[in-house]
Chains A and B, each alone.
Chain A
Amino acid sequence: MSELLKISGLHASIDADGAPKEILRGVDLVIPPGEVHAIMGPNGCGKSTLSYVLAGREDYEVTAGSALFKGEDLLAMEPEERAAAGIFLAFQTPVELPGVNNANFLRTAVNAVRRARNAPELDAVGFLKAVRAATKNLSMADDMLKRNVNVGFSGGEKKRNEVLQMTMLQPTLAILDETDSGLDVDALRIVAEGVQNLRSPDFSALVITHHQKLLDYLGPDRVHVMAKGRVIRSGGPELAKQINEEGYAAFLKEAA
């Protein structure tokens, strides 16, 4: 299969004070298995909306187009079915869950996904072993597992926690929505290594970012430029370098 994800002519809008506002206006995108693709584009071009629509957020209405994941109609699935199918979204702003223990949350999620994938559930010992190894790789303090999900976490801790969840949930397609934003140099390297560790023929990533730095670590196979709700240009890693040097102006003119 050469297409893990195939998005064709995807249109989506959100309710803005009672009137639908179109944000995605015909997105076409293909991600083959084992590849890392980057999406870049000016603020408001629809990058985050695309990630939400792929993950199944209900606020958005898909008005046209399709998205096939492993050949299945992704848009017909519930968010948790998409997660089980292998889609993971690293949130730009991870959500706080007061009173919910981080380890417990993670174990519940891991086992829910494993159940759905017909894999045996992890018992407490097996889980602890796996999660300890993962936190160590991400240079996370042990007490982060004991704290409540994202409550009182610093920006960097939240992002690392996302990568921890991603590691444990073993997705086939990870969508990283500006996971690098607000990270210092060291945190960025740790997060990038966390993603790199997952790289395999069974792991693809769609990385939304504004910065060259993360892409330097990840070495994307393809770079896509989004503007006004569409992918207007696709190319190799050199595209990201060009944007870094020249900005989006030239691309926008081209698209207009």
Chain B
Amino acid sequence: MPAVTETREQVEKLGKSSYEWGFETDIEMDVAPKGLNEDIIRLISTRKEEPEWMLEWRLAAYRSWLKMKEPTWAKVTHPPIDYQDVHYYAAPKKKDGPKSLEEVDPELLRTYEKLGIPLHEQAMLAGVEVPEGEEARLPVAVDAVFDSVSVATTFRKTLSEAGVIFCPISEAIRDYPDLVKQYIGSVVPVADNFYAALNSAVFTDGSFVFVPKGVRCPMELSTYFRINAKNTGQFERTLIIVEDGASVSYLEGCTAPMRDENQLHAAVVELVAMEDASIKYSTVQNWYPGDENGRGGIYNFVTKRGACRGARAKISWTQVETGSAITWKYPSCILQGEDSVGEFYSVAVTNNHQQADTGTKMIHLGRNSRSTIIAKTISAGKSDSTYRGQVKIMPRASGARNFTQCDSLLIGDQCGAHTVPYIESRNMTARVEHEATTSKISEDQMFYCRQRGLSQEDAVGLIVNGFCKEVLKELPMEFAVEAQKLLQISLEGSVG
């Protein structure tokens, strides 16, 4: 087992670290033994009080995973991952529901505080009952996932009045088995790829959203993921179903403590948009990226896919990826419905020794389906970043259109940026456009900014934010501000 330095000691040693979410929370944990086998899967299923069909589904996924190999086509390298050296289940020890903040595990509250979650929201996250009227002040409903479990979901009452279901997926499996059974694995099949199969076998929690016909979800939904325990893999599963004419905007944020060893994160997100439905899915991914020498950091192997099943359905992915040692992620759209729309807006930042291979897939099946891809890649330090995107126009997708724009910005002379588009058009009437540029922050630009009084960091931040503007404007307001700051922090020390 690799040496582990306790986070707190590390922070003290380093003084002020640039990764300010790198704290660890000391909470009594219920942890499964390391390793993966059918017994562990049974244990997870039992702990989650799952029905038999779910266990069978997991076991089927596990059995196909055993026959699969890690994909090697991505432009990332890492030492072999020992899948038996990971805890597949870790949960804060369950106590009966707290009545007030005083009864909540103070360590958990301290964690929320460090994450900047306001106090009344903390109370809700910790499951404390809040007086009527109190909750209406908050614009965002939050589901917080801590290691393997969803610790709290806020605003459920307001949402349920609108007919919206927003809860941990473990709860949905128990309370809404028919919905889950119908849709889970319908967009990302269990044997879709190595990591998706692994996730299907061992996923422990995640969020479930159901927006019924004609309902516009009254507020932004947000899930906050945090890996805390040592050697824990996080395998969350998110399922969002939006019925005819309904719409939702969903935000996802991620952090993890700083650790010397690499941690595994393999999530699956499935989106289903029916006729005239719209889903906006925004991510600010800030998993621990490892230190400046490339030690530690999260391996982030994620499968995200949405299906526009009905006519005029729309799915829009926006992501700001600044964290993780390795990012392997391709949020995709299957555009089945006529006139359906897929969008992918991405900013991927890599610094130090980070590696990112990210992009999207737009599969056009429906007539006149349209897709837009705007991908901004920023590489600094000794990092390597690849945009990998597939646009596929199937024979019956007459009049389909795609526009792709990939821009890379290099900072320094030791990093790399690559663009790998796969374009396949099987319909003569389709129109596919691809534009790509690569640029550097020039010394002229830096000097100009600094002559006007900006520090190097501010100058890089301003130029980078300018470079990413088309993507950042797609983010919900409160996320956009956070993302801008994050971009700047991620690139600290990359110039000069």
Of all chain B residues, the one with the shortest Cβ separation from A117 is B453
Determine if B466 and A79 form an interchain contact, defined as CB atoms under 8 angstroms apart.
no
Of all chain B residues, the one with the shortest Cβ separation from A150 is B448
Q: Is B83 an interface residue (CB 8 A)?
A: no
Q: How many A-B residue pairs have CB under 8 A?
A: 78
Q: Name A83-130 residues within 8 Å CB distance of B.
A: 83-84, 88-89, 91, 94-101, 104-105, 108-110, 112-113, 116
A98-B462 Cα distance, complex, nearest whole Å: 10
Q: Is A221 an interface residue (CB 8 A)?
A: no
Q: Is A8 an interface residue (CB 8 A)?
A: no
Determine if A148 and B454 form an interchain contact, defined as CB atoms under 8 angstroms apart.
no
The 8 Å CB contact of A98, one of B452, B453, B456, B467, is B467
Determine if A99 and B451 form an interchain contact, defined as CB atoms under 8 angstroms apart.
no
A109-B447 Cα distance, complex, nearest whole Å: 13
Given contacts A57-B447, A95-B448, contact A108 B454 (CB under 8 A): yes
Q: Is A157 an interface residue (CB 8 A)?
A: no
A169-B449 Cα distance, complex, nearest whole Å: 13
Determine if B447 and A83 form an interchain contact, defined as CB atoms under 8 angstroms apart.
no
A68-B450 Cα distance, complex, nearest whole Å: 20
Chain A residue contacts of B447, Cβ below 8 A: 55-58, 79, 95
Determine if B443 and A59 form an interchain contact, defined as CB atoms under 8 angstroms apart.
yes
The 8 Å CB contact of A97, one of B455, B463, B468, is B463
Determine if A97 and B449 form an interchain contact, defined as CB atoms under 8 angstroms apart.
yes
Q: Is A216 an interface residue (CB 8 A)?
A: no
Q: Is A165 an interface residue (CB 8 A)?
A: yes
CB of A184 to closest CB in B, whole Å = 25
The 8 Å CB contact of B466, one of A78, A88, A97, A116, is A97
Given contacts A98-B466, A99-B466, A108-B458, contact A80 B450 (CB under 8 A): yes
Chain A residue contacts of B448, Cβ below 8 A: 91, 94-95, 97
Given contacts A57-B447, A91-B448, contact A109 B454 (CB under 8 A): yes
**Interface bits B436-480 vs A (CB < 8 Å: 1, else 0):** 000000111101111111111010001101111100000000000
Determine if A165 and B444 form an interchain contact, defined as CB atoms under 8 angstroms apart.
no
Chain B residue contacts of A88, Cβ below 8 A: 451
The 8 Å CB contact of A100, one of B442, B443, B450, B466, is B466
Of all chain A residues, the one with the shortest Cβ separation from B455 is A80
A78-B445 Cα distance, complex, nearest whole Å: 15
Chain A residue contacts of B450, Cβ below 8 A: 56, 78-80, 83
A112-B449 Cα distance, complex, nearest whole Å: 11
Interface residues on B, range: 20 to 34
A68-B445 Cα distance, complex, nearest whole Å: 26
Chain A residue contacts of B454, Cβ below 8 A: 80, 108-109, 112
Chain B residue contacts of A105, Cβ below 8 A: 452, 462
CB of B493 to closest CB in A, whole Å = 15
Determine if B452 and A100 form an interchain contact, defined as CB atoms under 8 angstroms apart.
no
A116-B453 Cα distance, complex, nearest whole Å: 9
The 8 Å CB contact of B458, one of A82, A96, A112, is A112
Chain B residue contacts of A100, Cβ below 8 A: 462-463, 465-466
A88-B448 Cα distance, complex, nearest whole Å: 11
Determine if B453 and A97 form an interchain contact, defined as CB atoms under 8 angstroms apart.
no
Of all chain B residues, the one with the shortest Cβ separation from A88 is B451
**Interface bits A45-83 vs B (CB < 8 Å: 1, else 0):** 000000000011111000000000000000000111011
The 8 Å CB contact of A169, one of B443, B444, B453, is B453
CB of A75 to closest CB in B, whole Å = 15
Of all chain B residues, the one with the shortest Cβ separation from A57 is B447
Of all chain A residues, the one with the shortest Cβ separation from B461 is A108
Of all chain B residues, the one with the shortest Cβ separation from A85 is B453
Determine if B452 and A165 form an interchain contact, defined as CB atoms under 8 angstroms apart.
yes
A67-B465 Cα distance, complex, nearest whole Å: 36
Determine if B466 and A55 form an interchain contact, defined as CB atoms under 8 angstroms apart.
no
Determine if B453 and A80 form an interchain contact, defined as CB atoms under 8 angstroms apart.
yes
Of all chain B residues, the one with the shortest Cβ separation from A94 is B448
CB of A193 to closest CB in B, whole Å = 22
Of all chain B residues, the one with the shortest Cβ separation from A52 is B447
Chain B residue contacts of A104, Cβ below 8 A: 462
A116-B454 Cα distance, complex, nearest whole Å: 10
CB of A246 to closest CB in B, whole Å = 35
A169-B451 Cα distance, complex, nearest whole Å: 11
Determine if A89 and B453 form an interchain contact, defined as CB atoms under 8 angstroms apart.
no
Given contacts A95-B444, A97-B445, contact A109 B453 (CB under 8 A): yes
Determine if B462 and A83 form an interchain contact, defined as CB atoms under 8 angstroms apart.
no
6 further A-B contacts with Cβ under 8 Å, apart from A56-B447, A95-B445, A99-B465, are: A80-B453, A91-B451, A108-B458, A109-B454, A113-B453, A169-B453
Report which A residues bind B (CB closer than 8 A). 55-59, 78-80, 82-84, 88-89, 91, 94-101, 104-105, 108-110, 112-113, 116, 148, 165, 169
Report which B residues bind A (CB closer than 8 A). 442-445, 447-456, 458, 462-463, 465-469
Contacts A/B (CB < 8 Å), 19 sampled: A55-B447, A57-B447, A58-B443, A59-B443, A79-B450, A83-B452, A94-B448, A95-B442, A97-B449, A97-B462, A97-B463, A99-B465, A100-B462, A100-B465, A108-B454, A108-B462, A112-B453, A113-B453, A148-B466
Shortest 5 CB-CB contacts between residues of A and residues of B: A99-B466, A100-B466, A113-B453, A83-B453, A79-B450
